[in-house]
Structure 1
């Protein structure tokens, strides 16, 4: 093939311990909207207007948290922010709401891009990144 047959991301499905709690993180703390629910799975669909996440409920009694160093699967979800002040403000907002922060905003490699890493309530690593002016995304 000479051209890609895909056209970007439609949605990303994440298995979480409690879809209600994870949806609350995206909706209340990040300003996302709930798109719909599917009680058969159960799942909650949330979106920022560009990307949609499906938050699936983990089945079974014992939930095993993901270990990015030893399990195959999602290492982290990276979400872009508008600029450095937005990244700094988001960091403070998440700190104020007692989110688990892996590291505060810092340069990505030599910069000018900056990023930070936190965990949503279900333990999935979320990276927030500002690519920097003129930087590759």
Structure 2
């Protein structure tokens, strides 16, 4: 049976810090802001391949995600072209003061490498270089 779907159209993420999260993607990673819905509120950003919808949480005390106990997004993994770009992202995230879970390292025995950090609202974001 052939797949009935044809890839990812967009991912919607609920964030607690809408403007800071949008800036993470647009300013730190160089994505483009596609549009806004101020009354919702939401910001749509894209790297040209993926579109993210960043929705502002409505609660004053939203529950944070716990990967061991909650069903939902474990992390968002973004592909990068080379090790130099992976290192540049690491340096930019480090300079921004955001939390880095681990710096660039081999996946298993390699040659793929990855790193994991948290964007301003606390969503885990992985950057992955295939290495082959």
TM-score by structure 1 length? 0.93
Show the counterpart of 1:73. 72
Q: Which runs of 5+ in 1 are unaligned?
A: none
Kindly provide the CA deviation profile for residues 40-63 of structure 1, in whole angstroms up to 9, marking residues without a partner as x.
321100000100000001112211
Larger displacement relative to structure 2 (60-69 or 107-116)? 60-69
Show the counterpart of 2:20. 21
Show the counterpart of 2:10. 11
Find the aligned partners of 1:48 and 1:82 in 2 and give their Cα distance: 13
Show the counterpart of 1:104. 103
Q: Which runs of 5+ in 2 are unaligned?
A: none
Find the aligned partners of 1:98 and 1:80 in 2 and give their Cα distance: 22
Kindly provide the CA deviation profile for residues 46-87 of structure 1, in whole angstroms up to 9, marking residues without a partner as x.
000100000001112211111111110000000011101111
Q: How far apart are residue 109 of structure 1 and its match?
A: 1.1
Find the aligned partners of 1:118 and 1:13 in 2 and give their Cα distance: 19
Find the aligned partners of 1:97 and 1:29 in 2 and give their Cα distance: 8
Find the aligned partners of 1:48 and 1:102 in 2 and give their Cα distance: 23
Q: Which runs of 4+ in 1 moved over 6 A?
A: none
Q: Indicate yes or no: 2:36 matched with 1:43.
A: no
Q: Indicate yes or no: 2:82 matched with 1:83.
A: yes
Find the aligned partners of 1:131 and 1:103 in 2 and give their Cα distance: 17
Find the aligned partners of 1:21 and 1:13 in 2 and give their Cα distance: 16
How big is the alpha-carbon RMSD for the aligned residues of Structure 1 and Structure 2? Answer: 0.8
TM-score by structure 2 length? 0.97
